[in-house]
A and B are shown apart, each in its own frame.
Chain A
Amino acid sequence: MFSVKDRDVVIPGQLLGEKIRHDENCFDEGDRVFSAVRGMARISDNTVSVIPITGPYLPRRGDIVIGVVTDVGGSFWILDIGTGANCILRAETVSRDRNPDMKGYFDVGDAVSMKVDDVNEINDPVLSGPRKLTGGSIITVNPMRIPRILGKKRSMIDMIKNKTNSRISVGQNGRIWIGGEDTQKVVNVIKTIEREAHTSGLTNRISAALDRSD
């Protein structure tokens, strides 16, 4: 028995249903299932889940994240990827050298895009495949909006890249690196997507907006 409909806005502690299965961002007490966050309830078959409207980023296996180096150690870098967890990038991901020139690879303040290989039980990510992002600028958006900014099969972001002729790297942690001629235009478009993420027909409107200003 569901107490809410598909796409309803729910708040923490709200009853979602009884004797149902539940997925992300829900919790149960006996037979009763409640929402743990403020978000949109999604119902499929006998399972309910809640998509948060806002929220902190938790690393997941397979994510691409963008971090900023905050400290350089003898065999590791410490990065800020915008989570509460400690985030360490080990030197063997870039070099087999026993004493690598750490600062030659990444120095404090450098932006790095990395892949999350694994996440341990306290949400610390194991990172690999670092790539330095030189030039350009980084903006921060609500991490829950990233899927909308990427679009289905990255359609939205590919469209923005092609139409503005810029290089964009999107981190699942809500950081977006933009390199190219017209950064301000890309920033405006991404902020529009973030603001209007819950509306439909967004891709067409963004496409029209990009064509118009040319």
Chain B
Amino acid sequence: MANKDIELIKDGKRLDGRRFDELRNIKIKAGVLERADGSAYLEWGKNRVIAAVYGPRNLHPKFLQDPTKAYLRCTYNMAAFSVEDRKRPGPDRRSVEISKVTADALRCVVMLEKYPNAVIDVFIEILQADAGTRCAGLAAASVALAHAGIPMKDLVSTCTAGKIGDEVVVDLGKEEDNYGEADVPIAILPTKKEVVLLQMDGKLTREEFDKAYELAVDGATKVYEIQKAALAMVGGN
């Protein structure tokens, strides 16, 4: 993990010149796909993500139907050209995991009981990956769901924090993710500050974790403002 050959922090600044509590540039646009019920395009640093929502629609296979609530299905996929070495297309262990944690996070907010027996399909397509794609994908998916007009209790806002070169920083970039000591992606409900996703890769002490958590929640709150602005634009469905 830790690679001493790469100096991740120079003169109190990170590799790309950011401060420790500074996010990369984020841009979100809702309603980019004509045929989807809801969609969003997100740029987060060098990440490029499209999320699409279809439904509520008929659920097949039928044994998955639940007469008390809808079923939320999420598919996270990285395009073969999204990373430097070609990614072998198709689901793998990592994308199945991310699909699952994303679906679990979204099930906390979507009012599934309004659409019994139906399915809400969420597709997250990573066109270009540069660390933090599960957060980028989840943030885009939440905007796409709101754009589709599906009733939700809140949006889902996300951010990562981590440890690089003995410093706890927010929103890791690609090198920081690859050569850093730890990575903590979180997703929160911004108005209630409830946690719907929390993972940790690497080792942090209790104090470092608390600091990383604070930083990530602050970052997610900033992401929420961008999500809000993207949804406030009426028209251009």
Residues of A within 8 A of B (CB): 9, 11-15, 25, 27, 34, 36-40, 52-56, 58, 83-86, 121-123, 142, 144, 195, 198
Q: CB-defined interface of B91-129 with A at 8 Å, one 1/0 digit per residue?
A: 000000000000000000101001111110000000000
Docked pose: A86 CA to B65 CA in angstroms = 11
A12 to B150, CA, bound (A): 9
Select from chain A the residue with minimum beta-carbon distance to B58.
A84
B138 lies within 8 A of chain A by Cβ: no
Interface of chain A, helix or strand or loop or mixed? loop
A70 to B152, CA, bound (A): 31
Q: Among A11, A56, A142, which residue has its beta carbon within 8 angstroms of that of B146?
A: A11
Instruction: Among B118, B147, B232, point to the contact of A54 (Cβ < 8 A).
Output: B147
Chain B residues proximal to chain A, CB less than 8 Å: 37-38, 55-59, 67, 70, 109, 111, 114-119, 146-155, 189-191, 228, 231-232, 234-235, 237
Judging by beta carbons under 8 Å apart, are B55 and A11 in contact? no
B contacts with A: majority SS: loop
Are A122 and B149 closer than 8 Å at their CB atoms?
no
CB–CB B67/A122 < 8 A: yes
The minimal Cβ–Cβ distance linking B55 to chain A, given in whole angstroms, is 6
**Pairwise interchain contact B117-A84, C-beta atoms closer than 8 A:** yes
Greatest chain A CB density within 10 A among B114, B150, B190 is at: B150
A sample of 21 cross-chain residue pairs with beta-carbon separation below 8 angstroms, ordered by A number, consists of A11-B155, A11-B231, A11-B232, A12-B146, A12-B151, A12-B153, A13-B154, A27-B153, A36-B111, A36-B152, A37-B146, A37-B150, A52-B149, A54-B149, A56-B148, A83-B56, A84-B115, A85-B117, A85-B118, A142-B237, A195-B235
A14 to B231 CA separation, bound complex (whole angstroms)? 12
Q: Are B117 and A86 in contact (CB under 8 A)?
A: yes
Contacts of A142 in B (CB 8 A): 237
Chain A residues closer than 8 Å to B55, beta-carbon distance: 56, 84
Report Cα–Cα, A11/B155, bound state, in Å: 8
